[in-house]
Structure 1
Amino acid sequence: MKKTLTILGFLAVFPAGVALADDDCLVPMADWQPRDVVARLADENGWTVRRIKIDDGCYEMDARDTEGRRIEVTIHPATLQMIEFEYEDEDDDDRRDKDRGRDRDHED
């Protein structure tokens, strides 16, 4: 009985059709802009693209801005609107390299 009440309570809080993550892009592939248009958008902003991938139905771009800082940009695939823009933390890279036994300042 408690399990049923828990499930009903959950459904009341999260009604059907509401996504848990509202930054997903729910667009049919037929309506998507081509990947080269996304690359052109990056070029127009002066970004150097490292990778363009699809995440949660959105384009996600790993790049460097005009000042060389690492950025991650989430782009709506149909409208090409920027949904999210964030700077990547270089300290995370240093920490990850040290965990792997490498020091970025002293790489061979």
Structure 2
Amino acid sequence: MRKIMTILAFLTAITGGAAFADDDCFVPMANWQPREAVARLAAEQGWTVRRIKIDDGCYEIDGRNADGRAIEAKIHPGTLQILEVEFDDDEHDKERKEPEND
């Protein structure tokens, strides 16, 4: 019984880790495109860049799209493929900016 539990725990750890691997970029640094190329990609998309950082082995752009909406974009460091673009919740931002009425 103990051997079965150990095997199940091991399999759970392996499959649980694989589920998160899709969010990461595994590219040797020698194969990365330079930050300037990421900035050019953003300009081609009509984005205004506030910050380019590295997160989970991928480039991440924090900025605004052509409509002025706040975005976070995850970029593959080797191919510069846009992997994901997240938009901030406009209603949530609006609620934070409005003063409270007493």
Q: How many angstroms apart in 2 are the aligned matches of 1:7 and 1:54? A: 36
Q: How many angstroms apart in 1 are the aligned matches of 2:33 and 2:14? A: 31
What per-residue deviation string (whole Å, max 9, x for no partner) do you get for residues 67-90 of structure 1? Answer: 100011000000000111111124
Q: Using the TM superposition, give the Cα deviation of residue 5 of structure 1 relative to its aligned residue in structure 2, in angstroms.
A: 4.4
Residue identity in the other structure for 1:8: I
1:42 paired to 2:55: no
Residue identity in the other structure for 1:65: N
Q: Using the TM superposition, give the Cα deviation of residue 11 of structure 1 relative to its aligned residue in structure 2, in angstroms.
A: 2.0
Structure 1 unaligned residues grouped into runs of 5+: 98-103
Q: How many angstroms apart in 2 are the aligned matches of 1:105 and 1:40? A: 35
Q: How many angstroms apart in 1 are the aligned matches of 2:18 and 2:55? A: 15
1:8 paired to 2:21: no
The number of residues matched between the two structures is 97
Structure 2 unaligned residues grouped into runs of 5+: none
Q: How many angstroms apart in 2 are the aligned matches of 1:9 and 1:94? A: 47
Alignment of 1:10-89 (within 5 A): 10-15=9-14, 19-21=18-20, 22-89=22-89
Q: Using the TM superposition, give the Cα deviation of residue 23 of structure 1 relative to its aligned residue in structure 2, in angstroms.
A: 1.4
Identity %: 53
**TM-score normalised by structure 2 residue count:** 0.79
Q: How many angstroms apart in 1 are the aligned matches of 2:10 and 2:36? A: 41
Residue identity in the other structure for 1:10: A
SS of the aligned residue for 1:19 comes to helix
**TM-score normalised by structure 1 residue count:** 0.75
Equivalent in the alignment of 1:101 = none
What is the RMSD of the two structures over their aligned residues, measured on CA atoms? 2.3
